[in-house]
Amino acid sequence: MKYKRIKQLLNQDFEKLQNAKIILLGVGGVGGHCLDCLVRSGVTDITIVDFDMYDITNQNRQIHSELHEGEVKVDALKKHYPTITTINKRIDEEWVWAFDFDKYDLVLDAIDDRNAKLALAQKCYKKLISSFGSAKRLDPTQVKSDTIWKSYGDKFGSKIRYELRKRGFNKKYKVIFSSEEAVTKEKGSFIGVTATFGLTMCAEAIKVIRK
């Protein structure tokens, strides 16, 4: 039975996963592994949103990328996860404010656009799990999850907190972050860290669904 082992862990809560409706924004190094984790755990109603195409530089960290170079990411991932719904769209602040998130139980943010992240926090904080920067790091044991205001050790996260305060935002939502200091100024990335971000996001999502 496909889900036998996860059912042995979740028991009656497994049905909650199968009934959950999730939207995942961004399916790169973090989002792609989160998607794989959700599907393998029994979540079937997942909408993914991304506009990008796979290229050779993705292949050190992005799941299935080596099989689909030159293809649109959401279309390629649909081949591996046929139950998902796909939206091929660039996620910016305007899109976030215009999109209807009401039908989803959870909004998972694995994008890099700062203004879109800020809009998501303001609009969807009650059901948002957001990822901060996973690049420039090598130690997956320093990946953590906590509320936005308890996150630390990440310059990108610091900018998000600063901008939210400027906007008068004082609500809480869950974020995935690393306490490790960046080891380079370049945009280097290590799958051990990026995948850990995605798997941690998936685990946090399952916690919320089970409540």
- Sequence spans of domains, the chain: 4-210
Residue 1 pLDDT exceeds 90: no
pLDDT for 149-190, tens place per residue?
Answer: 999 988 899 999 999 999 999 999 999 999 998 888 888 999
Bridge partners of residue 49, in order along the sequence: 25, 87
User: What CATH class is the domain 4-210?
Assistant: alpha beta
